[in-house]
């Protein structure tokens, strides 16, 4: 039994690990729980979901959306149907029935381009994908078409994987159409770096390596890295990423993909500097306030002016 939760709070993992043996943190505010073998402790699974929601509401004054199902895929889609602050259980054996009326865009992995292709074929719901033959879907979408059919039937064997310290934190995106506008590309990098920096602070890490990644239309991929003083400051990380990107990207070449990552983590040490950097200290205070706002209202509540949300 898998449950997906989506609470906007950074301290939530500690609570989950105290009440469930297997917890996977999929993102800064998304978790999967494996309750297999917990039937004696939590005989009524909906009651467990209510317990989690009540704890968050009472102790942390925060909402939480929970989807309970037999696998990660269905629980994730279920969560999206009852936002915000909902609770839903999809009983084992009724996964396909639940998914059938939903639009194809509800399926993770089906982007806008694939939706348009499916629409041309008259496929608009997950039930229609499930009903289509493997040969038909495979003919149009290759191996992904067969995978889509299995997922649309509610079949997902992906395990709930316990969290471990990440070796790197990064974000990237592939464009539907090649992009060559430098302001647009740098704005995307800025938004990604915001997310990476927030994640660094959440784990109490600082990074010593910044890496920029981009891919050309012919699928040639470049990665360029630079070692920097350990930091979790998005301003410092962005300056490094911007310099790397503009140095190695030829302006007359459009890009298919762009991304950024940070790695080689250290744990911040509290040292007394003889000559403190007051501007950095001010940014650290602002970052703390921003993190508090996001913890209460969600990550999308506040952003840098230079960031482009995609």
Instruction: Give the pLDDT confidence of 242-271 residue by residue, as tens digits.
Output: 999 999 999 899 999 999 999 999 876 555
Both structure tokens of 78: 């279920």
pLDDT attached to residue 201 = 87
pTM over 0.75, yes/no: no
Both structure tokens of 252: 């007359």
Q: Is 30 known to be catalytic?
A: yes
Instruction: Give the pLDDT confidence of 87-134 residue by residue, as tens digits.
Output: 999 999 999 999 999 999 999 989 888 899 999 999 999 999 999 999
Supply the DSSP symbol for 106: G
Q: Which residues pair with 27 in a beta bridge?
A: 30
Q: Which residues pair with 215 in a beta bridge?
A: 221, 257
Both structure tokens of 100: 């059938």
- Region 46-66: mean pLDDT is 91
96: how many CB neighbours lie within 10 A of its CB? 16
- In degrees, rounded to 5, the angle at the alpha carbon of residue 267 between the alpha carbons of residues 262 and 272 is 120
Residues across the chain: 310
What are phi and psi for residue 172, nearest 5 degrees?
-155, 160
Supply the DSSP symbol for 109: T
Half-sphere exposure in the Cβ direction for 93 (13 Å, CA): 0
Sheet with strand 221-231: strands edge to edge: 168-179, 255-266, 206-215, 221-231
Residues 6+ apart with CB under 8 A from 89: 45, 46, 49, 67, 68, 69, 78
Catalytic hit among 18, 24, 30, 134 = 30
Class of domain 168-301: alpha beta
pLDDT attached to residue 136 = 96
Kind plus residue range of the DSSP H or E element containing 153: none
What distance in Å separates the CA atoms of residue 145 and residue 161, rounded to the nearest whole number? 26
Q: Is the pLDDT assigned to residue 151 strictly greater than 70? A: yes
- Region 33-62: mean pLDDT is 91
CB 75 within 8 A of CB 2: yes
Q: Which fold has domain 1-162?
A: Alpha-Beta Plaits (3.30.70)
Both structure tokens of 224: 């360029």
Burial class (CB in 10 A: 0-12, 13-18, 19+), 136: middle
Instruction: Name the pLDDT band for 272 (thresholds 50, 70, 90).
Output: very low
The region of weakest confidence among 30-34, 60-64, 74-78, 204-208 is 60-64
- The domain ranges of the chain are 1-162, 168-301
SS3 305: coil
């Amino acid at each position: 039994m898998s449950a997906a939760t989506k609470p906007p709070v950074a301290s939530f993992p500690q609570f989950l690990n105290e009440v469930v043996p297997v917890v996977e943190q999929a993102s800064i505010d998304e978790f999967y729980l494996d309750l297999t073998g917990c039937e004696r402790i939590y005989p009524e699974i909906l009651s467990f979901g209510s317990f989690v929601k009540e704890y968050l509401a009472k102790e942390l004054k925060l909402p939480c959306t929970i989807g309970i199902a037999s696998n990660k895929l269905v629980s994730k889609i279920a969560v999206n149907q009852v936002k915000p602050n909902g609770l839903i259980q999809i009983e084992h054996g009724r996964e396909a029935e639940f998914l059938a009326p939903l639009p194809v865009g509800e399926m993770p992995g089906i982007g806008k381009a694939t939706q348009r292709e499916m629409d041309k074929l008259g496929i608009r719901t997950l039930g229609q994908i499930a009903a289509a033959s493997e040969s038909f879907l495979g003919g149009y979408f290759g191996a992904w078409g067969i995978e889509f059919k299995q997922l649309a039937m509610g079949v997902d064997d992906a395990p709930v994987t316990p969290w471990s310290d990440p070796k790197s934190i990064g974000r990237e995106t592939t464009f539907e159409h090649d992009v060559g506008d430098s302001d647009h590309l740098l704005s995307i990098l800025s938004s990604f770096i915001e997310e990476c920096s927030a994640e660094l602070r959440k784990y109490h890490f600082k990074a010593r390596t910044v890496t920029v990644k981009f891919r050309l239309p012919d699928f040639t991929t470049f990665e360029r890295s630079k070692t920097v003083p350990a930091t979790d400051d998005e301003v410092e990380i962005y300056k490094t990423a911007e310099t790397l990107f503009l140095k190695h990207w030829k302006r007359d070449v459009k890009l298919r993909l762009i991304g950024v990552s940070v790695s080689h983590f250290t744990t911040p040490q509290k040292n007394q500097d003889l000559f403190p950097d007051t501007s950095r200290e001010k940014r650290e205070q602002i970052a703390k306030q921003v993190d508090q706002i996001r913890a209460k209202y969600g990550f999308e509540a506040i952003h840098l002016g230079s960031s482009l949300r995609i």
